[in-house]
Amino acid sequence: MDTSHPICNHSSRVAPTYRDIRTTDIEPISVISGALNGFDQTKVADIGCGCGRYDLLMFQQIDNLHLTCVDANQSMLEQAVQYLTSNDVTNFDAVHGTAETLPLEDHSLHDLTTFNAIHHFDFRRFIENALHAVDPEAGKIFIYTRTPSQNAGSIWGQYFPGFAERETRLYELDDTEDMIESIDAVHLDTTISFKYGRRATLDDLIARVRARHYSTFSLDDDSELEDATEVFQGNVAGAFDDTSDIEWSDENMLLVLSPDPY
Q: What phi, psi does 259 have (nearest 5°)? A: -65, 145
Phi first, then psi: give them for residue 131, nearest 5 degrees. -60, -35
Number of residues assigned to the chain: 262
pLDDT at 121: 95
Task: Answer for the pair 67, 155: CB distance below 8 angstroms, yes or no.
Answer: no
pLDDT of residue 4: 40
CA nearest neighbour of 79 among 41, 54, 52: 52
Is-above-0.85 flag for pTM?
A: yes
Q: What is the dihedral of CA 177, 193, 8, 132, to 10 degrees?
A: -50
Beta strands 92-96 and 111-115 are unpaired
Burial label for 260, CB within 10 Å (0-12, 13-18, 19+), is exposed
Nearest to 120 by CA among 69, 71, 154: 71
> Residue 6's pLDDT is what?
47
Query: CA 210, CA 116: separation in Å to the nearest integer?
Result: 20
Buried b (16+ CB within 10 A) or exposed e, 65-98: bbbbbbbbbebbbbbbbebbeeeebeebebbeeb
Give the chain's domains with CATH numbers.
Answer: 6-147+168-196+252-259 (3.40.50.150)
Question: What is the Cα–Cα distance from 113 to 42, expressed in whole angstroms?
Answer: 13
Give mean pLDDT in consecutive 10-residue pieces for the chain, a chain of 262 residues.
Answer: 46 49 86 85 95 95 95 94 96 96 94 95 96 94 97 96 93 96 96 97 94 86 94 97 97 97 73
Laid out side by side, the sheet with 186-200 consists of: 92-96, 65-71, 42-47, 111-115, 140-145, 246-259, 186-200
pLDDT at 9: 53
CB 133 within 8 A of CB 112: yes
Q: Where are the alpha helices (DSSP H) in the chain?
A: 6-14, 18-21, 27-36, 53-61, 74-86, 123-133, 148-152, 155-159, 163-166, 173-181, 202-210, 222-239
